[in-house]
Amino acid sequence: MRGLLLTAVVSLLASGLTLPGAQAQENQKVFYLLSHGGESDPFWIDWNAGAQAACRQLNVTCNISFSGGDFAVQKEALNAAIASGPDGIGTTSAQPGLWMEEVKLAKEKGIPIVFFNTDDPATGRDAYVGADLKMAGRIWAKYLVDNGLVKEGDSVFMPVEVPGASYQQLETEGIAEVFDPLNIKYDVVDAGTDPAGVIQKMSEYLIANDVDAVIALGDLVAASVQRVFDNVGIAPGSIPVVGWGNSKETANAVKAGYVNAALWQYPAHQGFMPVALLNLAADGEPIGYDIFTLQTYDKNSVEPILRLYDK
């Protein structure tokens, strides 16, 4: 049902709210889209494609930036965006509570603000597009427990690109709700945002530590699992792995048995829908609702996602 709803909304916005192609550039709406992620991350590549598609279809000007996990850079970009007085702003919540003053200032200036990918509803943002990240953590942990893949006393390796970011904190909270009562240990490890560095750091950790399972807390680390396992000589399926699956690399790893199950966030939709919501808000339409994007897949249900990447 969620997929049908998203498809219907995207079709409506793309066909009914597109600005005339002949309209002068200076009359276009201007939106800022600010991500805490890295532009080479597989998830953000697909997210960016969706955002760019929305900007073209709705005939709006979009200024898109990635801070690569540097919260100070994103904060500076957000304040600069607010100062420019655009028609709307979309941003991730890099840390809980980080944007309280910025959202307040934007609302005082009448600038609609939509969060995507990582949320902080306490800010009073207008809408959110993305996954329930705490639920994602619970889903991964329960999958491992319910399928007998981890037990009391086991150790779980949890690599992440940006430790301390909202997504890591919320996902870990969900994991803790399942693992802590069972005395299952887990280690959140900074793998960084450089693809080569991620492979090196994950490989070094697996060589130096006894690991019973892996939960990949971000898409870059998830997309690196197969290469890391091959690099250190770990056979597919010998260590259970769950995590994000918003990349062709991870989908292939699921099919090949390196990753047991993954969560799909509809990354291109996460890029498209914030622009569509901001466009509605700039036209005076209320947008006080959230759009959640989350689905689990495994080797039995991965083919539709692989076909999508082959288009």
What is the spatial distance between Cα 268 and Cα 129, in angstroms, rounded to a whole number? 11
pLDDT grade, residue 25 (50/70/90)?
A: low
DSSP notation for 10-49: HHHHHHHSPPPTTS-GGGS-EEEEEESS-TTSHHHHHHHH
- Are β-strands 261-264 and 113-116 bridged in parallel, bridged antiparallel, or unpaired? unpaired
State the average pLDDT over residues 19-34. Answer: 69
Q: Which residues of 48-65 are buried (b: 16+ CB within 10 A; e: fewer)?
A: bebbbbbbebbbbebbbb
**Would you say 100 and 75 are in contact if contact means Cβ atoms under 8 Å apart?**
no
pLDDT grade, residue 23 (50/70/90)?
A: very low
Phi, psi of 245 (to 5 degrees): -135, 40
Q: Is 237 left (phi over 0), alpha (psi -120 to 50) or beta?
A: left
pLDDT tens-digit map of 97-119: 999 999 999 999 999 999 999 99
Structure-token pair, residue 91: 């941003």
pLDDT tens-digit map of 237-270: 999 999 999 999 999 999 999 999 999 999 999 9
State the average pLDDT over residues 14-37. Answer: 64
Picking from 164, 249, 158, the residue whose alpha carbon sits closest to that of residue 202 is 158
Q: With a cut of 70, say whether residue 67 has pLDDT above it.
A: yes
Ordered by where they begin, the domains of the chain are 2-131+266-293 (3.40.50.2300), 133-264 (3.40.50.2300)
User: Side by side, which strands form the sheet with 290-292?
Assistant: 61-66, 30-35, 88-91, 113-116, 127-130, 290-292
The percent of residues above 90 in pLDDT, for the chain, comes to 83
- The chain-wide mean pLDDT, for the chain, equals 91
pLDDT grade, residue 198 (50/70/90)?
A: very high
Residue 68 is given by DSSP the state: T
Residue 309's pLDDT is 86
Length of the chain as a residue count = 311
pLDDT grade, residue 5 (50/70/90)?
A: very low
The percent of residues above 70 in pLDDT, for the chain, comes to 92
What is the spatial distance between Cα 147 and Cα 170, in angstroms, rounded to a whole number? 23
What is the spatial distance between Cα 126 and Cα 48, in angstroms, rounded to a whole number? 21
Angle at 193 between CA 189 and CA 194, to 5 degrees: 115
State the average pLDDT over residues 125-136. Answer: 96
Residue 24's pLDDT is 36
Q: With a cut of 60, say whether residue 149 has pLDDT above it.
A: yes
Structure-token pair, residue 188: 């959140």
- Give, in order, the Cα–Cα distances in Å from 232 to each of 203, 208, 278: 6, 11, 46
Is 0.85 surpassed by the pTM of this model?
no
State the average pLDDT over residues 118-123. Answer: 93
